[in-house]
Structure 1
Amino acid sequence: MGELIERHMESMTEEINEMRRTKLFSIEETRLIMKKRKHFECKINGAMKNIQDFKDYIQYEKVILKDIKLRRNKLRIADRKSSIEFKILKRIKYLYEIATQRFSNDFNLCLMYFKFCKESNYNQAASLVIQNMIKHFAHIPEMWKVAAAWHVKKDVNQALSVILKGLTIHQTSETLFSEAIQLELMNRGKDDWTDGSQNKDQLCCQKIQTYVDSIMKNIRSHQFLIKILELLNPYGFTKSVQDKIVKNLMERYPEEADVWHALAQRERNGDHYDEVPGSMHTSNTKFRLDRCFKKYQEGFVMTKSCPDQHRELWSLYLEFLVDLQLHNDNSDMIRNTLLNALRDANDCQMLTERYFVVWVKLLKEETDILDVTEKGLKAIPKSVELWKLKLKYAVIKDNVKNFNQTFKKGVMQLQNKSTPLWMMALRYHILTSSSAVIENIFMSGVQQAEEVGRKMKCEYIQWLVLNKGITEARRKYNDLARTPPFCKELHTIMANLESQELDVNAQELEKVLRLACDQFGGEDSDVWIGLIRCYFEHHKAFESVNSKFDVNELTSRVFREAESKIGHNGPLLADFLGKYDVLKTTEF
């Protein structure tokens, strides 16, 4: 084994010398390359044969190739490629050959080797790999597709022959059937065989019909039949096959929502079922849409016994109409169709929050808007968007009493999800009401639980600074910050407000940052960094108040306290230490 490794290493000498001579790599870099290669050689030639060792070695050589390409472009060195790149490519090919011999049952390895040969223009080797794959991996459908793809550029008939051989083994393979149909469509213009009574399109259509018959017999999948329909759609000469698929879908899968959606969309695109080709109506947009809408209606009847599919079809229909209306906003017909569909869906209790919102936005009359909003809230009382719409309408009407009543009802329904309503109430009353009214809203909001309370605390402090000054904000902050639910954002906002004062009060800022550390120091490294930064930035202010103030001693004490509190959390501690090191090297 040692002699073999040495021979392999010696064979790399010329390549390494050329790397140095062309100055693509330094002497030290080439030494590292040789060291790494020897490591891999020892592994792949050792007693324990491991496929991953081969993959790692191959990947390493590919990385070197990529690096060489980048260096050649950067340094504009084009010579000696045959002594460097070609030798590396041959080495990779050799490694693949040995690996595929030792691990002949590994399909992915063979596939990797084939792709390498194809990309490197080792065409003869690629053909041999394909032959071996057919011999060893006939049980894998993907292999037949890969083999066909290799032959298709040279000979479509050969590719078809490969796929057909695969289909004799894999009679339920969607991949192979799909590939066979695509190859037939590709080959129809090249097929010279004819008996004189049929043209090439008819012959191709007959062949595809044979595949479709096999699919219907062996594969129970409406999604695959829909996929085949989409595949055949651009080819008008396959209409008879398409109609047969449509008929099969309606007979065998009448309760599937996506079947009716696909068939309706075909009608919209002019692919009418049982319609004579060239009919005068096929190019008429209104005619197409009428056929499309009727197909959805037919689907609603057929899916009614399957609630989930019925609901899904309504969703697909409404989404289609919304998109149609969006791109044809001047069409009264489409708008009216969408409105009628929304009413019908509501009667069937099929509307989600999204479509109630769409419905409201389509309406113009006040009574209609209120009626639909009420219907939506009755169906989905926890809908944030619908409560927002109802509040928005009250704002437009500038009805304070109605706004406040709607707001209270919405908050009662939404509870902890009512933050958007509180924000709307603040924006509305800030423009229309006195400071006393606004403060009452804040006082009520900060007493709410979780998300609402935290958000309102932050908004309240900022409002106080702007309207009553920093002193009142400090007083209220001391109450709010110590009242659950605790809010980390409140400390951050208050610290920023203190820092933005023209004459920063370092002692007040310290109180805020200290409280943040007390409440959140075990879960957030930034609060400690903020406190330490405060001492560094404002050490002169602290010294003017306390002559014994020692910034280094104090920051060291805070550092130890932080370590103690977050030491149980390794990643958090590492984050803190990293930020602390950066902070220490910063000059304030």
Structure 2
Amino acid sequence: MAEFVQKKVEDMRPVLEQMRKLKLFSEREICEITKKLKEYEYKLQRHTKSKEDFLRYIQYEMDLMKLVKQRRERYGITQMKSDIDFTIANKINHLYKDAILKFQDDLRFWIAYMKFCKHVKFHSCISRMIGRMLSIHQDKPKCWHIAALWEIEENNNQQNAKNFLLRGLHFHPDSKLLYTDIFKLELDYVFTKNNKVKSIDISTVRTIRNNSNIPVELQKVFIIYEQAFKRIRDIKFIIELLNITQGYDKTEKLQHKIVSDMVKEYLHEPMMWDTMAHRELKGLIQPSLETDESSMEIQTLKHSSLRDRISNCYKVYQTAVKKIKTEEMWSLFIDCMLEINQETDTLPNFKRKLLKNVLLQCHQAKKLKEKYYLNWIDMLNFDKNNQNSNTQGKLFEILNWATEALPESESLWHAQLHYLLSTNQEELATEIFNKAIDILGKNSLPLFRLKLLHIQAKNPENLEKFFQDALKSEPIISNYIKPIYIEWIVLTKDIHIARRIYDKLCLHPPPCIELHKKMAALELLQPDISLQNARRPHEMTTLQFGKENTDVWMEFINFEMKYGEAIRVSNIYNRAVKTLKPKLADNFITEFSLIKANPELLGISL
């Protein structure tokens, strides 16, 4: 093993010596590099090799190559550039080849190797490697895709790329990826960069029955599409092909064929209707949407004006929601109308009217999602803020509709309560608040927060009753209120009353750590600190949370060191070690040792 390692290192010796002479690296750095090379080589000479060994070695060599480049640029050294770079790159090349030979089932090595070869311009290595990769990984469509992509982007050889894709489709006749690749490749072949039709050998194109309206130069593309349509029954895939086609001029007839097939085969797919509606919005020519019901027919014409295009798009969706009465179809309809309304410079009133209509229709169909109710409310709030007198009553009506339709939605109740409070409808707001918290239960905390802010600002005399009611609510709500309440008592009454109330609250289940922290902080704000009273919150915190929380013990120790009696620290420490769970106790001991060794961490001196 040692001889092989030494041989590998000796092979790198000349280039290392060159780097030393050029002063790219110091003598010490060259020794370090040599040592590292030996370590990696020994790992690769072991009987059992791991992927990580190869990956780490390759990464080290690539980092070395990068460092050489940086040093050369920094010091302005250009001598021996090609020799040094080639030697390191060649070493990486051999490492990749050895890794691929050892772990040929791992496609990541193949892909990483191809990227490396592309980076260092070892193009001939990739061409040879592609054949090997495909012979081993022919069961993976991605490999055929990679091979074709290489031929197109690097070798500019469309014919080789096409051959790879056709061979790939032989093994994977249902591959969306390969069909998409060859479909786009044929379109690229037909059209030049300036989108003018190429002259091609028409004799190579077979005639397609019943599709004589397809231009001759596009018939190969049509054949590919036709096969893909038969093999892959997926509306998303067909839409992807249609979108690709739209990127080329003079493909209207091909688009017409694809759209016609979509209408025939995917009449009950929401995405088909969504695609048709968006095509109307763009003013693209397409066949009429005909269904078995005469009432569902739409005659589509080419319109040039924006208003006509929007109207026609709206009509397609109206037909769709009659045909497909699902939440998904309605959501696609609303999303499109929202998208249209993002641009407000043209036809703002017309666009907004259509959006409001569809929101109302979707609500009536009981398919409107929470987020769309919120969009609707935001839109009406905007109108209200712009002094639209008709909006006030409509907004309240829709808020009621929303909470009736989705009573479990905290956001909708919050919006309704906010509206009532902001319009000073106190009695109705209280009624809605009580109704909402009965339905939402533990999820009603945001409503309590909103009402608390309102009472603090408008009716502070009602705070005591609010606090008392909140403390009787769900645990998550009462625990949120406890520290706020105790602080309010201190600010509006005095610390003595707060202490009595704290003694009751700290025993009120469930325990609340924030209550103890707040009371401890309030005690330290008093002009004359009472150690006995200031110590009590820490005692209660460690009693209630001391088994699973090391911080409460450290805060207790911190308190005694800064304000209390340092002699108590050892007792608190012993209690903590006995009370905490074993793993947490170990962490606490370590943390305490650090504090003891560096008392300045607590801002004190021992």
The TM-score with structure 1 as length reference comes to 0.87
2:260–2:287 CA contact under 8 A, matched in 1? no
Shift of 1:267: 1.4
Contact kept in structure 1, 2:285 and 2:302, CA below 8 Å: no
Match of 2:442 in 1: 416
Please, which of 200, 205, 227 is the counterpart of residue 214 of structure 1?
Answer: 227
State the Cα deviation string for residues 179-220 of structure 1 (Å, max 9, x = none). 112222333345542559x9xx94553222111101111111
- Structure 2 CA distance for aligned equivalents of residues 50 and 443 of structure 1: 66
The answer on whether the counterparts of 1:533 and 1:583 sit within 8 Å (CA) in structure 2 is no
Bigger drift between 19-28 and 225-234 goes to 19-28
Of 138, 163, 186 in structure 2, the residue corresponding to residue 161 of structure 1 is 163
Q: Percent identity?
A: 28
Choose the corresponding residue for 2:478, options 449, 453, 458.
453
CA contact (8 A) 1:264 1:296 kept: yes
C-alpha distance in structure 1 between counterparts of 2:515 and 2:145, whole Å? 61
**1:37-62 CA-partner distances (Å, limit 9, x unpaired):** 33332332333354543333223322
Residue 173 of structure 1: how far off its partner (Å):
1.3
- Residue 295 in structure 1 maps to residue 311 in structure 2: no
Aligned partner of 2:491 in structure 1 is 466
Give the corresponding residue for 1:184. 186
Per the TM alignment, residue 347 of structure 1 is displaced from its structure 2 partner at its CA by 1.9
**Residues 50-449 of structure 1 mapped to structure 2, 5 A cutoff:** 50-69=50-69, 81-82=81-82, 84-153=84-153, 154-189=156-191, 191-194=198-201, 202-274=215-287, 281-304=302-325, 310-328=326-344, 331-363=348-380, 364-435=390-461, 437-449=462-474
Residues in 1 aligned to 2:69 and 2:3: alpha-carbon distance in whole angstroms: 32
In structure 2, the CA distance between the partners of 1:467 and 1:19, relative to structure 1 (3 Å rule), is farther
Question: Contact 1:243–1:273 at 8 Å: present in 2 too?
Answer: yes
Q: How far 1:338 moved relative to its partner?
A: 1.9
- Mapped to 2, the partners of 1:474 and 1:324 lie a distance apart of 60
Cα contact 2:200–2:217 (8 A) shared by 1: no
| Alpha-carbon contact 1:529-1:580 (below 8 Å) kept | no
Aligned in 2, Cα 1:403/1:102: closer, same or farther, shift over 3 Å? closer
Distance 1:473 1:319, change over 3 A: farther
Q: Is the CA contact (8 Å cut-off) linking 1:525 and 1:576 kept in structure 2? A: no
Cα pair 2:186 2:221 within 8 Å, conserved? yes
Cα 1:86–1:501 change in 2 (3 A) is farther
Q: 2:542 aligns with which of 517, 522, 527?
A: 517
2:294 alignment partner in structure 1 = none
AA in 1 matched with 2:161 = A
Distance 1:77 1:532 in 2: 61
Partner residue of 2:295? none
Partners of 1:470 and 1:218 lie apart in 2 by 79
Offset from partner CA, 1:405-448 (integer Å, 9 cap, x none): 2222222122211112222222222233253x210110111122
Distance in 1 of aligned mates of 2:530 and 2:492 = 20
Partners of 1:100 and 1:110 within 8 A in 2:
yes
Q: Secondary structure at the match of 1:328?
A: coil
Partner in structure 2 of residue 562 of structure 1: 576
For 1:575 and 1:334, the matched residues in 2 are separated by 64
The structural deviation recorded for 1:564 is: 3.3
- 2:506–2:516 Cα contact (<8 Å) kept: yes
Q: Residues of 1 paired with 2:84 and 2:59: CA distance?
A: 17
Report the CA distance between 1:10 and its aligned residue: 2.0
| Residue-pair matches, total | 564
Q: Which moved more, 1:400-409 or 1:129-138?
A: 129-138
CA spacing shift, 1:95–1:431, aligned 2, 3 Å: closer
Q: Check the 8 A contact 1:185/1:204 in 2, yes or no.
A: no
Post-superposition shift, 1:115? 1.9
Equivalent pair of 2:472/2:478 in contact (CA under 8 Å): yes
Query: Residue 48 of structure 2 corresponds to which residue in structure 1?
Result: 48
Please tell me whether the aligned partners of residues 188 and 204 of structure 1 are also in contact (alpha carbons under 8 angstroms): yes
Task: Supply the AA of the counterpart residue of 1:133.
Answer: M
**Partner AA of 2:373 in structure 1:** F
- Could you tell me whether the CA contact under 8 Å between 1:254 and 1:303 is conserved in 2? no
CA distance in structure 2 between the partners assigned to 1:75 and 1:508 by the alignment? 69
Distance in 2 (alpha carbons) for counterparts of 1:568 and 1:74: 55
Distance 2:518 2:573 in 1: 23
Of 264-273 and 82-91, deviating more is 82-91
TM-aligned CA deviation for residue 18 of structure 1: 4.8
Which one of 516, 533, 550 corresponds to residue 558 of structure 2?
533
Residue 476 of structure 1 pairs with residue 501 of structure 2: yes
Where 2:250 maps in the other structure, the secondary structure is helix
Mapped partners of 2:365, 2:445: distance in 1: 32
* Gapped regions of structure 2 (runs ≥ 5): 193-197, 206-213, 289-299, 381-389
Distance 1:133 1:472, change over 3 A: same
- Cα deviation, 1:312-356, whole Å, max 9, x if unaligned, reads 111121222233334338722222222221221122111122222
Deviations 1:72-91 (A, max 9, x none): 66677666545654332221
8 Å CA contact retained: 1:254, 1:299: no
Post-superposition CA distance 1:459-482 (Å, at most 9, x none):
212322332244433332232222
Using a 3 Å threshold, how does the CA distance of structure 1 residues 151 and 576 change in structure 2: closer, same or farther? farther
> Separation in 2 of the partners of 1:454 and 1:392?
23
Is the Cα–Cα contact under 8 Å of residues 5 and 42 in structure 1 kept in the other structure? yes
